Chain A
Amino acid sequence: MDTAQGKPSAESAVRTLVSYLGEGRAAEAQIPSTQRAFVTVPLDSLRDAMAFLVRDQGFGHLSTITAVDVNEHMEVLYHLSDRTVSLSLRVLVPKDHLVLPSAVDLVPGAVLYEREVHELFGIVFEGHPGLQPLLLPDGWPEGLYPMRKKLSLEQIRGVLADAREAYKARR
């Protein structure tokens, strides 16, 4: 969407996306303002919806990816932008199968955001070039994801203290 052609509109972006996805794959949308939208799509429509927004609708800028730990699901939000409108594309990922297709082929700039979400929440992005640790310290145990709700600050402090001890012992 070109800003020069008129006012930015989250509503028209959402309308276009919903009609593209069609009846069978209903998306749920909230539009809090003219430049903000949140659209929830089913997991199997994520690639399609993102490809449409990125390639055809000018939403090529991925601001970041946010994961939220909610009970039995992980919510993952892709904050896409056409510069003026920030459209957050949301999927719910079941906790017993935390796998999403990587978006790196559609948006190369997703590379570090997916690494971050993988490291802190334990979501696997299939097709990502390498989900190595990015932010957590050396000695952080594999398979422990600090941003999950069930891991408390006290537990995290304990893990960090253990990692420090192990590091000292190695020296």
Chain B
Amino acid sequence: MPEKPTKQDDSFIVPIGPQHPALKEFEYFELRVDGEQVLDVSVRLGYNHRGIEKALESRTYSQNLYLVERICGICSHAHTTCYCQAIEQLLNVEIPDRARYIRTLVAELERIHSHLLWLGIAAHEIGFDTLFMYVWADREIVMDLLELISGNRVNYAMNTIGGVTRDVRPAMSDKIMTGIHQLEARARYYKGMCLEEGSVMQRVAGVGILQRQDALDLCAVGPTLRACGVASDLRKDDPYAAYDALSFDVITYDGGDVGSRMLVRIDEVAQSVHIIEQCLQQMPPGSLQVKVPGKVPSGEAVSRVEAPRGELIHYARSNGSDQPERYKVRAPTFANMPALSKMLIGGYIADVPIVIAGIDPCFGCLDRMSFVDVRTGRNWVWSSEQLRRRAQA
């Protein structure tokens, strides 16, 4: 007679990921589940590892600007800002004030874009596709503004070492003002919808809970951390660009769940609008960039930026040549991975898509899920559509 399976054997291994051809990040999660409940999570990243840090060591500082821009498609401006700041520190140059304001303005437009994109995706994950369509239609407004300023809808290429490449001309001001006020009104509308339309909060409140202390211990960043009631925002804590001259609030909620993460991001859209208004009003006239040498003296620098997803940190080491000795990039999604594992443990399989989406990663992994029964070895594959349907059941 076969032995009775132990408690351990009752658990299933549920691999999620790694491939999704359309989205920009690939991840692999291996969940150990007992019935519907997640017992443990292990992560395997790197499916989109491009060896950028190694590549940065073999290119010149000005070539690297283009490579850094392409680390991420959504927060490319955050990366180039962080990169330029690091190199400017090494060169010991101060950029013109007007350039500081333009960097800030584009950064906030990028934040609005990123948060709206996320809200649409989150709505899609909880099966509220009408909201997804609405939000992504509004996202066009901010993309148009970014195109107006930079000529590009993504990869804005606004930053250069020593300043910015393009001006925000006075003629653009009215269009930007009209656009951001439209967006502010929409954000207010979406907040009302999320709070009043019961099906939204029912699906996100109390889901993917992260305790405040766990968030701090696991070094979570950005909206994920602020949704645990921690007022941490580098725009206030370690001001860069023009942030020390602007007034805005750091948004926190203390639910620690997907609902709080949603509200933090929606409220941050309104704060970004407020920051952009001030930029347009206060931006001093003047030059856009200072000339910088191609060779960078030996030294090291740490540069931090509050990207839409949280703390972005770059470390640069120069050796006196025109190429860096070492360049390190740590993006916010990587910082939030340990916290994400924590959120998934104890939750249900049906909540996995929205919890993973909740930290705003690029959740390319959800396209293909393979469920393996460890006792029989039988395995089957669920598409993201089936998963989503299951999530909504």
Binding-face segment, A18-26, A79-87, A94-102, A163-171? A79-87
CB of B175 within 8 Å of the partner chain: no
Which residues of chain B have C-beta atoms less than 8 A from A111's C-beta? Answer: 338
CB of A107 within 8 Å of the partner chain: yes
B49 touching A135, Cβ below 8 Å: yes
B338 touching A134, Cβ below 8 Å: no
Which residues of chain B have C-beta atoms less than 8 A from A62's C-beta? Answer: 219
B337 in complex: contacting residue of A32, A33, A69, A112, CB < 8 Å: A112
A68 touching B317, Cβ below 8 Å: yes
Interface string of B34-47 (1 = CB under 8 A from A): 00000000011110
Which chain A residue shows the least CB distance to B319? A70
From DSSP, what is the main secondary structure of chain A's interface residues?
mixed
B45 touching A79, Cβ below 8 Å: no
**CA of A136 to CA of B44 in the docked complex: distance in angstroms?**
10
Q: Known contacts A133-B44, A135-B45; is A112 also within 8 Å of B54 by CB?
A: no
CB of B301 within 8 Å of the partner chain: yes
A63 in complex: contacting residue of B45, B46, B313, CB < 8 Å: B313
Binding-face segment, B67-75, B180-188, B271-279, B326-334? B326-334
B45 in complex: contacting residue of A8, A61, A88, A134, CB < 8 Å: A134
CB of B196 within 8 Å of the partner chain: no
**CA of A63 to CA of B46 in the docked complex: distance in angstroms?**
19
What's the interface size class on B, roughly?
A: 35 or more
**CA of A69 to CA of B45 in the docked complex: distance in angstroms?**
23
CB of A12 within 8 Å of the partner chain: no
Which chain A residue shows the least CB distance to B328? A66
A64 touching B237, Cβ below 8 Å: no
**CA of A64 to CA of B43 in the docked complex: distance in angstroms?**
18
Q: Known contacts A79-B313, A83-B237; is A63 also within 8 Å of B338 by CB?
A: no
B335 in complex: contacting residue of A60, A64, A86, CB < 8 Å: A64
Interface string of B207-235 (1 = CB under 8 A from A): 00000000011111000000000001000
Enumerate 23 A-B pairs (CB-CB under 8 Å) in ascending A order: A32-B89, A32-B301, A38-B300, A61-B219, A63-B219, A63-B335, A66-B326, A66-B328, A68-B326, A83-B232, A83-B238, A84-B238, A85-B238, A86-B302, A86-B313, A109-B217, A112-B45, A132-B44, A133-B44, A134-B46, A135-B49, A136-B49, A153-B54
- Known A61-B219, A88-B302; further 5 A-B contacts with Cβ < 8 A: A36-B301, A63-B311, A133-B44, A153-B58, A156-B51
